[in-house]
Amino acid sequence: MGRRPVLPGLRPVSAPDPALTQVAGLPIADPDLAAAVSEGLDRVEELLRREVHSDYRFVTDTSLHLIEAGGKRFRPLLTLLAAQLAGGTSQDVVIAATSVELVHLATLYHDDVMDEAVMRRGADSANARWDNSVAILTGDYLFAHASRLVSQLGPDAVRIIAETFAELVTGQMRETRGARDGEDAIEHYLAVVAEKTGSLIATSGRFGAMFAGATPEQVAAMRRFGEIIGTAFQVSDDIIDIASPSGDSGKTPGTDLREGVATLPVLYTLAGDGPEVARLRQLGVGTRELDDSEVGEALELLRGSRGLDEARAALDARADAARGELATLPDGPARRALAALLDYTIARTG
Q: Is residue 329 part of a domain?
A: yes
Note the pLDDT tens digit of each residue in 218-267.
999 999 999 999 999 999 999 999 998 765 545 688 999 998 999 999 99
CA distance 159 to 320: 30
Q: pLDDT grade, residue 12 (50/70/90)?
A: very low
Q: Do 116 and 258 reside in the same domain of the chain?
A: no
Cβ atoms 284, 290 nearer than 8 A: yes
pLDDT at 329 over 90: yes
Cβ atoms 3, 21 nearer than 8 A: no
Quote the pLDDT of residue 25: 83
Note the pLDDT tens digit of each residue in 126-150.
888 888 999 999 999 999 999 999 9
Q: Is residue 266 part of a domain?
A: yes
**Nearest 5°: CA angle at 245, between 252 and 115?**
20
Q: Do 343 and 222 reside in the same domain of the chain?
A: yes
Q: Do 128 and 227 reside in the same domain of the chain?
A: no
Q: pLDDT grade, residue 113 (50/70/90)?
A: confident
Quote the pLDDT of residue 133: 92
Q: Do 225 and 147 reside in the same domain of the chain?
A: no
Q: Is residue 14 part of a domain?
A: no
Q: pLDDT grade, residue 210 (50/70/90)?
A: very high
Quote the pLDDT of residue 240: 93
Better-scored residue on pLDDT, 30 or 125: 30
Q: pLDDT grade, residue 20 (50/70/90)?
A: confident
Q: Do 105 and 241 reside in the same domain of the chain?
A: no
Chosen domain end from 141, 167, 184: 184
Amino acid symbol at 150: V
Note the pLDDT tens digit of each residue in 283-299.
999 999 999 999 999 99
Quote the pLDDT of residue 308: 94
Q: Do 346 and 244 reside in the same domain of the chain?
A: yes
Q: Is residue 327 part of a domain?
A: yes
Better-scored residue on pLDDT, 120 or 318: 318
Nearest in space to 314 (alpha carbons), one of 199, 186, 183: 186
Quote the pLDDT of residue 248: 52
Taken as a whole, the chain contains a residue count of 350
In the chain, the percentage of residues whose pLDDT exceeds 70 is 92
Enclosing H/E stretch for 251: none
Q: Is residue 306 part of a domain?
A: yes
Quote the pLDDT of residue 129: 83
Q: Do 153 and 254 reside in the same domain of the chain?
A: no
Q: Do 163 and 233 reside in the same domain of the chain?
A: no
53-68 burial, b for 16+ CB within 10 Å, e for fewer?
eeeeeebeebbebbbe
Chosen domain end from 184, 200, 227: 184
Note the pLDDT tens digit of each residue in 44-78.
999 999 999 999 999 999 999 888 887 789 999 99
Quote the pLDDT of residue 236: 93
Chosen domain end from 140, 164, 184: 184
- What is the distance between the terminal CA atoms of the chain, rounded to a whole angstrom? 27
Quote the pLDDT of residue 350: 60
* Average pLDDT of span 166-189: 94
Better-scored residue on pLDDT, 28 or 5: 28
Q: Is residue 58 part of a domain?
A: yes
CB-based contacts of 25: which residues, under 8 Å, 6+ apart? 8, 9, 10, 72
Distance of CA 313 to the CA centre of its chain: 20
Written in H, E and C, the secondary structure of 110-176 is: HHHHHHCCCEECCEECHHHHCCHHHHHHHHHHHHHHHHHHHHCCCHHHHHHHHHHHHHHHHHHHHHH
Mean pLDDT taken over the chain:
90
Q: Is residue 155 part of a domain?
A: yes
Cβ atoms 252, 296 nearer than 8 A: no
Quote the pLDDT of residue 154: 98
Quote the pLDDT of residue 97: 98
CA distance 62 to 131: 11
Q: Do 86 and 160 reside in the same domain of the chain?
A: yes
CA distance 223 to 332: 19
CB-based contacts of 16: which residues, under 8 Å, 6+ apart? 22, 27
Nearest in space to 41 (alpha carbons), one of 8, 65, 86, 13: 8
Q: How many domains does the chain have?
A: 2
**CATH code of residue 141:** 1.10.600.10
Q: Do 76 and 136 reside in the same domain of the chain?
A: yes
The strand pair at 119-120 and 123-124 is best described as antiparallel
Q: Do 133 and 251 reside in the same domain of the chain?
A: no
Q: Which residues pair with 23 in a beta bridge?
A: 26
Q: Is residue 1 part of a domain?
A: no
Domain that holds residue 126: 28-184
Q: Do 316 and 169 reside in the same domain of the chain?
A: no
Cβ atoms 136, 143 nearer than 8 A: no
Q: Among 14-18, 91-95, 131-135, 301-305, which stretch is predicted with the lowest mean pLDDT?
A: 14-18
Quote the pLDDT of residue 183: 93
CA distance 113 to 127: 6
